[in-house]
Structure 1
Amino acid sequence: MKIFLATKNKGKIKDFEKLIEGLDIQILTILDNINIPDVIEDKETFEENSAKKASEIAKYTGIITISDDSGLCVDVLNGEPGVYSARYYGEGATDELNIKKLLEELKSIKKDDRTAYFVSVVSIAFPDGTVKSFRGETKGEILFKKEGNNGFGYDPVFYSYDLNKSFGLATPEEKKSVSHRGRAFRKLREEILERL
């Protein structure tokens, strides 16, 4: 079975490929020269953005589509950067610049008040318009400086309570076992993919 993964993020593509190991599913992405429309993620929640992207692309391609919207929520910043995680820095945002801005925002915040959590909402949309969404979270805190170079995004400054180390120091297998995306995807896998 072919499923289209609606992301341009190579880190996410790698994560998803690991998460479907053992299933008879062929993942297609834009790297397979499939043209897709740009879907503007203009909603207020991860759920709305994820479902919008999956359903618009499934309708356009006629292929079952999976998308996720994910981000980092920092408690002392009232849940920011949240749905704006990838573009937190603003114009020209990169992982490095987003981390730099986050650490700057938190520079006067003591360790006990740096709690945070990653959220991922994975949606699967069918060409007939059916959409189902699954949410996963993982808790931790924001470090004062980067630790490790593994992963992508905010991983080097996110200290995972499950792993007792930063995602930047975690192996792909360790991260997959506790990550927000892994948790959301396991729900999708159990409830949908294994029954297709």
Structure 2
Amino acid sequence: MQIVLATHNQHKVDELRRILAPQLVGVEVLAYDGPEPVENGATFTENALIKARAAAAHTGLPAIADDSGICVDVLGGSPGIFSARWAGPSKDAEENLRLLLWQVSDIADDHRGAHFTCAAALVLPDGTERTVVGEWPGQLLHEPNGANGFGYDPIFLPDGYAISAAELSAHVKNQVSHRAIAFESLLPLVREVLGAP
């Protein structure tokens, strides 16, 4: 039995394999190598479905996709769905991080609330669809810390921790992150529709 991860982001492929593989015994988790669809949805859930539908149609396999980003309270929830392109279409993670830090540079700690959101979607070639959403609350730091993780992880301080998301071990992050929360909710649906143990 096979399932495809509808992303070209190798960081996400690695992270999702670490989250999913132990939970889906007998299911081969494949990376997607097809065309990248236009993510023109207005929500994380819409964009996750766009990606999963494209991968399922291209491969003929069940497809899992996620769309995720950081939502900053004082910015009205932005960058949100624009997180990957916040500093422009090049999707430069360092530029995105720098721009966001500059935008909140004069904001006091008690107004730096933020959360990561992850919408996860499962789409089968027969058109069956399931979606879930996970959130990871915290706040923005004033400068990057840590070399683990990717994207905005170095400037995100998760609630209940004294270190950034980029300072957490992969093992811990894969248990507490927005992506872990979303996929923990999605896994029973995956098992149900695939008939996996």
Question: TM-score scaled by structure 2?
Answer: 0.93
Q: CA RMSD in A?
A: 1.3
Matches within 5 A, 1:34-53: 34=33, 36-53=34-51
Structure 1 position 182 matched with structure 2 position 180: yes
Partner of 2:145: 147
Partner of 2:60: 62
TM-superposition CA deviations, 1:7-40 (whole Å, max 9, x none): 111111111111123322111113xxx4x22210
2:161 corresponds, among 146, 160, 163, to 163
Q: Aligned-pair distance for 1:97? A: 0.4
Partners of 2:190 and 2:160 in 1: CA distance = 26
| SS class of match (1:189) | helix
Structure 1 position 97 matched with structure 2 position 95: yes
Amino acid at match of 1:9: N
Partner of 2:129: 131
Larger CA deviation: 17-26 vs 42-51: 17-26
Structure 1 position 28 matched with structure 2 position 30: yes
Q: Aligned-pair distance for 1:92? A: 2.4
| SS class of match (1:168) | helix
Partner of 1:17: 17
Q: Is the 8 A contact 2:72 2:78 kept in 1?
A: yes
Q: Is the 8 A contact 1:88 1:98 kept in 2?
A: yes
User: Matched residues, percent identical?
Assistant: 38
Larger CA deviation: 53-62 vs 145-154: 53-62
Question: TM-score scaled by structure 1?
Answer: 0.94
Q: Is the 8 A contact 1:59 1:129 kept in 2?
A: no
TM-superposition CA deviations, 1:130-159 (whole Å, max 9, x none): 110011000000000011111000000000
Partners of 2:160 and 2:16 in 1: CA distance = 21
Amino acid at match of 1:7: T
Q: Aligned-pair distance for 1:191? A: 3.0
| SS class of match (1:144) | coil
Amino acid at match of 1:45: T
Partners of 1:180 and 1:17 in 2: CA distance = 15
Shift >6 Å, 4+ stretches: none
Structure 1: runs of 5+ lacking an equivalent: none
